[in-house]
Amino acid sequence: MKKILSGIPGLDDLLDGGLHERSSTVIAGPPGTGKTTFATQFIYQGAAALGEAGIFITFEEFPEIIYRDAMNFGWDLKEQEAAGKLRIIFTSPAVLKSELEKENGLIDRVVAEIGAKRIVIDSVTLMEQISCDTIELRQLFNSLINGLKRLGLTTVLTSEVPLLFGHENTFETSIGFVVDNILFLRYVEIESELETALTILKVRGSKHAKDIRKYEIAENGVTIETKFSGHQGILTGFPSRMISGKTLLEEGLIRKKR
Ligand SMILES: Nc1ncnc2c1ncn2[C@@H]1O[C@H](COP(=O)(O)OP(=O)(O)O)[C@@H](O)[C@H]1O
Ligand SMILES: [Mg+2]
């Protein structure tokens, strides 16, 4: 199966060469971890550098905000749109659903017009309000993802999870069951500094890195960095420093709180 590049430095190596064409990926994480930035970078780099036109569907932010925030990273989305390589669509979950169910609906038409290969939906969290029934939601997401796959699109969805540290930070929404790949973003506290970490929880049909990577959002966008060396317990959100492979706790240098 062909793989495409994400446009995020360091990520494709972790994914053993990139995302499968026509696959679906959810980027899940608490507010401010950079989900929208990851998704925008995927679409912008696709259009501007990788020869793949893209569609960015936003339920939450007005297009003006998307343009402005992207411009802060040097990504001129308007220019790509004018060149016919990108389209931003501000809509509601209900409208998107009905357009996808229609014969030759909005997404079909845009795909035909610009030859889109990638699509982002930011975020699916609002879509969850279409129904309170888990089974129905799962069916909704399933038909959404299959519809986009049928159009030949590689899909990136963002999903908001509550801001929590530690083990509670699990990801249990129905979207996780229907997508091919799950990238999980989280905050970790390292020596009184808040850092951000990425884990790849699942990749269908491919091997992938299992380690926890630091990532940085800077002036050029997202870059995946090294592992957190010398720390363990990253998934708890409160890692401890290791001394020659042992933690301070194990060394008995600090006493466990009860
Ligand atoms: N131009 C920039 N330079 C560096 N960091 C930025 C810039 N713009 C946004 N960020 C960082 O990105 C984060 C927001 O990312 P965003 O993609 O909106 O998060 P989410 O969609 O997960 O809520 C902010 O917390 C901020 O730290
Ligand atoms: Mg966002």
Sheet order of strands, 240-243 included: 231-232, 240-243, 246-247
- Is residue 249 over pLDDT 70? no
Q: What is the pLDDT of residues 186-245, one digit of tens each?
A: 998 888 888 999 999 999 999 998 889 999 999 999 999 988 777 777 767 777 776 555
Average pLDDT over every residue of 21-39: 96
Task: Say which ligand is closest to the CA of 32.
Answer: 1
CATH number listed for the domain at residues 3-227: 3.40.50.300
The chain-wide mean pLDDT, for the chain, equals: 89
Give the pLDDT band (50/70/90) at residue 22: very high
1 lines ligand 1 (CB under 6 A): no
Q: What is the 3-state secondary structure (H, E, C) of 221-248?
A: EEEEEEECCCEECHHHCCCEEEECCEEH
**Protein residues placing their CB within 5 Å of the ion ligand 2:** 36
Q: What is the pLDDT of residues 3-18, one digit of tens each?
A: 999 999 999 999 999 9
Give the pLDDT band (50/70/90) at residue 1: confident
Q: What is the per-residue pLDDT for 172?
A: 61
Average pLDDT over every residue of 96-123: 96
Give the pairing of strands 240-243 and 246-247. Answer: antiparallel
Q: What is the per-residue pLDDT for 229?
A: 73
Give the pLDDT band (50/70/90) at residue 169: very low
List C-alpha distances in Å: 246 to 231, 232, 242, 243, 249.
9, 9, 5, 5, 8
193 lines ligand 1 (CB under 6 A): no
Q: What is the pLDDT of residues 52-71, one digit of tens each?
A: 999 999 998 999 999 999 99
Q: Give distance in angstroms: CA of 39 to centre of ligand 2.
A: 9
Higher-pLDDT residue of 251 and 205 is: 205
216 lines ligand 1 (CB under 6 A): no
Residues 6+ apart with CB under 8 A from 16: 203, 206, 207, 208, 209
Average pLDDT over every residue of 140-169: 86
